[in-house]
Amino acid sequence: MKSVAKEIGIDLGTSYTRISVRGRGLVLSEPTVVAINKVTGEILAVGNQAKEMLGRTPDNIVAVKPLKDGIIADFDATRMLIQNLVYRVIPRSLFYKPKIVVTIPSAITDVEERAVEGVAYSSGAKAVYLMEEVMAAAIGAGLQIERPEGSMIVDIGGGTSEIAVLSLGGIVTENSVKVAGDKLDKDIVEYVRTNFNVLIGETEAEEIKKQIGTASSAMTEEKISVKGRNLSTGLPETVVLTTLDVNNAMKNSLDIILKTIKATLENTPPELSSDIMSRGIVLCGGGSLLKNIDRFISEQTGIPVFISESPTECVARGVSAALENIEVLKKSVKTKKGIV
C-alpha cells in the first residue's frame, strides 16, 4: 500500500506555490493564482488554469494573486489555494492531519506570520512550522551553510528579493526588498504607457521580460511586438519594443536590487566578506533567469556570481531537505511553538 504523507512543505511564493512531500520531494508547482465566483464565493480554478484567466474574467468572476510582496494579501483566497493544492497531494479520503512547513519572507510581521500559520491550519495541519525562505533557498542551492565560512544567497522571486549571508548554520546578515520579478513586469507596463501611450497587460509584460529582457544592455539587440490598447483612441495597437527599451524600463528596479546586495555586503563582517569574495554569490529564484543578471551583479560588485541549479526550485528543495532531516528542520524553523 502507498504510504500516506505526514509531512508537507509549502514554498508559498508570490508567483508560484510549490509543495514537497516527505519522501517524495517536490511534487507540485502551480502559479499562486485563484479564480473565484464573486457571487457565490465558489472557487473556480487555482494555479495554471486560474493564471490563464488573469485580466480576462467576466464581471462575476475574479482571478486574484492572493500574495503581494511575499505576504498574504487575501487570506480567504490563499486558504482556498492551499487547501486545494494540499488535497491534490493528499487525497481527501486519505486525509489525516499532516505537519506542514511553510516558508516565510524575512521581513514579515507577527500578524502576517500568524496569517500564514492560520492558512496552514485551516488546510488541516496538525502542526505548522515556519521556515525562513532565504534559509531554505541556501540549503536548496547546496551552500555549505554549516561551515565556519561565509556564503551569500540572493533569491530574486516574484515579490521580494531576499539576500542573506550565512555561516555556521545561521543567518549573519540579511536584507530584503520588495522589488523583484513582479516589479519588473510593472516597470515594463509603465514604460509602454509613458512612451507609447499604450496599455499592455502584466502577463504580456512578463512574456516580454522573459523573451528579450536583459539586465545588461549593449548586448544583442532583439525586438518584440506586443498588442495593447491605445489610451487616447481606446483601440488596439501593436507596439514594437527593443531590448534597450526593456532594459531602460527595468533599470531602476535592477539598481535597487543591486543596492540591497551592496548594503548587505557592507554589513558583513570582514572575515566573511573575504570568503564571499572568493566563493562568490549564489543566485536563485525565478528572477535569476533574467538574461545577464549574473553578469550585471558580478560587474557591479566585483564578486563572482553563480546561478544555482533549477533556480526556481531552490526554496522547495531546501524545504524538502528540512522534511527529510529533522535536525535541519529544528535549526531552521522560526516558530517558537511546539516541538518538531
Ligand X SMILES: Nc1ncnc2c1ncn2[C@@H]1O[C@H](COP(=O)(O)OP(=O)(O)OP(=O)(O)O)[C@@H](O)[C@H]1O
Q: Which residues bind Mg ion (CB under 5 A)?
A: 13, 157
CB of 130 to ligand X, least distance (A): 14
d(C-alpha 216, C-alpha 259), whole Å: 16
CB of 237 to Mg ion, least distance (A): 35
For ligand X, the binding residue among 160, 247, 253, 308 (CB under 6 A) is 160
| By the rule CB under 6 A, 140 interacts with ligand X | no
| By the rule CB under 6 A, 312 interacts with ligand X | yes
For ligand X, the binding residue among 9, 124, 159, 318 (CB under 6 A) is 159
CB of 80 to ligand X, least distance (A): 17
d(C-alpha 214, C-alpha 317), whole Å: 27
| By the rule CB under 6 A, 132 interacts with ligand X | no
- Decide which of Mg ion, ligand X, none touches 332; Cβ closer than 5 to 8 Å per partner kind: none
| By the rule CB under 6 A, 46 interacts with ligand X | no
**Which residues are registered as beta bridge partners of 176?**
162
Q: How many residues bind ligand X (CB under 6 A)?
A: 22
| By the rule CB under 6 A, 289 interacts with ligand X | yes
Select from 8-16, 112-120, 191-199, 227-235 the region that touches ligand X (CB under 6 A): 8-16
| By the rule CB under 6 A, 47 interacts with ligand X | no
Task: Find where cell 561551515 sits.
Answer: 147
Q: Residues 122-152, buried b or exposed e (16+ Cβ, 10 A)?
A: ebbbebbbbbbbbbbbbbbbebebeeebbbb
| By the rule CB under 6 A, 210 interacts with ligand X | yes
| By the rule CB under 6 A, 158 interacts with ligand X | yes
Distance of CA 165 to the CA centre of its chain: 19
On whether the CB atoms of residues 208 and 240 are closer than 8 A, the answer is: no
CB-based closest residue to ligand X: 181
| By the rule CB under 6 A, 157 interacts with ligand X | yes
| By the rule CB under 6 A, 287 interacts with ligand X | yes
- Residue whose CB is less far from ligand X, 290 or 323: 290
Select from 106-114, 156-164, 267-275, 299-307 the region that touches ligand X (CB under 6 A): 156-164
d(C-alpha 125, C-alpha 118), whole Å: 10
For ligand X, the binding residue among 7, 206, 237, 294 (CB under 6 A) is 206
Select from 119-127, 279-287, 301-309, 323-331 the region that touches ligand X (CB under 6 A): 279-287
Select from 85-93, 158-166, 272-280, 301-309 the region that touches ligand X (CB under 6 A): 158-166
Cα 202-254-294 angle, rounded to 5 deg: 110
- Residue whose CB is less far from ligand X, 119 or 180: 180
Q: How far apart are the first and last CA of the chain?
A: 27
- Decide which of ligand X, Mg ion, none touches 117; Cβ closer than 5 to 8 Å per partner kind: none
Residues in Cβ contact with 93 at an 8 Å cutoff, skipping those fewer than 6 apart: none
d(C-alpha 77, C-alpha 33), whole Å: 9
Positive or negative, the CA dihedral 143, 148, 150, 153 is positive
Select from 138-146, 252-260, 264-272, 280-288 the region that touches ligand X (CB under 6 A): 280-288
Query: Where do contacts with ligand X occur on this chain (CB under 6 A)?
Result: 13-16, 70, 157-160, 180-182, 206, 209-210, 213, 285-287, 289-290, 312
